[in-house]
């Protein structure tokens, strides 16, 4: 394909060069000389109109994706409301089917111990789903405070033009920075941050069968002490340091068990019951801007600034 294109463009370029060379000579016909001068003038005008000292491939890509950004800003952000309504309708319909169709069949066929177990587990699961989903869609993910100068920051957001603390990223759908942002999920209107960690584990575990792959993926991220965005950042950083003969170490990885304790908000043994198995609206560890490990973490790396 490239060979055919070069064969077609080669003669055209040769003719253009001959015309430009003839334009330099006085023996050139006035008509041809005028065409060459107009070509040069148009070329200069085009360069002056399109010249940008800050331009480049990134600018061209941003300009090409501008319609996509407009679509995200004006259309996709309303998908969250639609998906929340669908989740509520589907959950309600499943509960109605269970009570109207499944429950009469269970009462006739199951033994008493098995009936008691199913009755207890199903209602415990239903309470956790309703409670944690309500908490997840009504709790803000956490935003960096504005107008304060005493916050440790690592960079400036190119969209908000505000300082960004460590692990903070900009959500294009919410149109603002989110502390420890993971990703924007349309079944939860705010962008997913791993700050209100106690609000989602039970909900996600309850729909693990329907969202098995997503649950496994996030379980791996939690075990490594990463968010979805940090997964890609750490991968690039690991390759960069590996090329220099150095080893990358995630400063927020406290070990698999301690990472899960931080995620679930488990400080003591009884919290496995009060904060994991029972509905709980406890606050997560830290404030989302400084990332010192909890005092009960057994081993951790030195605290560093990371993006």
256 is catalytic: no
- Work out the burial of residue 21: count CB atoms within 10 Å of its CB; fewer than 13 is exposed, 13-18 middle, 19 or more buried: exposed
Return d(Cα 125, Cα 165) in angstroms, integer: 37
Among the options 157, 174, 185, 256, which is catalytic?
Answer: 185
Instruction: Report phi then psi at 169, rounded to 5.
Output: -140, 160
Return d(Cα 271, Cα 238) in angstroms, integer: 35
The two most distant CA atoms of the chain are separated, in Å, by 110
Cα–Cα separations (whole angstroms), residue 102 to 98, 128, 150, 285: 5, 20, 58, 42
User: Hunting for tokens 């009060």 — which residue is that?
Assistant: 274
Return d(Cα 260, Cα 8) in angstroms, integer: 63
- Closest by CA to 19, choosing from 31, 6, 5, is 31
- Closest by CA to 222, choosing from 203, 202, 186, 197, is 197
Note whether 142 and 199 are within 8 A (CB).
no
**DSSP letter (8 states) at residue 10:** H
Return d(Cα 107, Cα 109) in angstroms, integer: 6
> Looking at the annotation, which residues are catalytic?
185
């Amino acid at each position: 394909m490239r060979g055919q294109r070069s064969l077609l463009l080669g003669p055209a370029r040769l003719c253009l060069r001959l015309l430009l060379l003839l334009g330099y000579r006085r023996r050139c016909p006035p008509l041809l000389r005028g065409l060459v001068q107009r070509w040069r003038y148009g070329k200069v005008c085009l360069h002056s109109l399109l010249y940008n000292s800050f331009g480049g491939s990134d600018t061209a890509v941003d300009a090409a994706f501008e319609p996509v950004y407009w679509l995200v800003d004006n259309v996709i952000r309303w998908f969250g409301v639609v998906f929340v309504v669908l989740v509520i309708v589907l959950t309600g319909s499943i509960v109605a089917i269970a009570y109207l169709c499944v429950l009469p069949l269970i009462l006739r066929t199951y033994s008493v111990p098995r009936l008691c177990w199913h009755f207890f587990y199903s209602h415990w699961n239903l309470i956790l789903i309703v409670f944690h989903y309500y908490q997840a869609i009504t709790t803000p993910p956490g935003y960096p405070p504005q107008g304060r100068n005493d916050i440790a920051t690592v960079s400036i957001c190119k969209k908000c033009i505000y300082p960004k603390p460590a692990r903070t990223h900009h959500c294009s759908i919410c149109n603002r920075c989110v502390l420890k942002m993971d990703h924007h999920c349309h079944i939860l209107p705010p962008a997913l941050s791993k700050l209100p960690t106690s609000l989602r584990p039970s909900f996600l575990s309850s729909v693990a069968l329907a969202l098995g792959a997503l649950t496994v993926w996030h379980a791996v991220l939690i075990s490594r002490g990463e968010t979805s965005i940090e997964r890609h950042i750490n991968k690039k950083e690991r390759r960069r340091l590996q090329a220099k003969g150095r080893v990358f170490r995630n400063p927020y990885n406290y070990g698999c068990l301690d990472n899960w304790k931080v995620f679930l908000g488990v400080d003591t043994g009884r919290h496995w019951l009060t904060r994991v198995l029972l509905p709980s609206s406890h606050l997560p560890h830290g404030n989302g801007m400084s990332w010192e490990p909890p005092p009960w973490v057994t081993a951790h790396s030195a605290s560093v600034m990371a993006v």
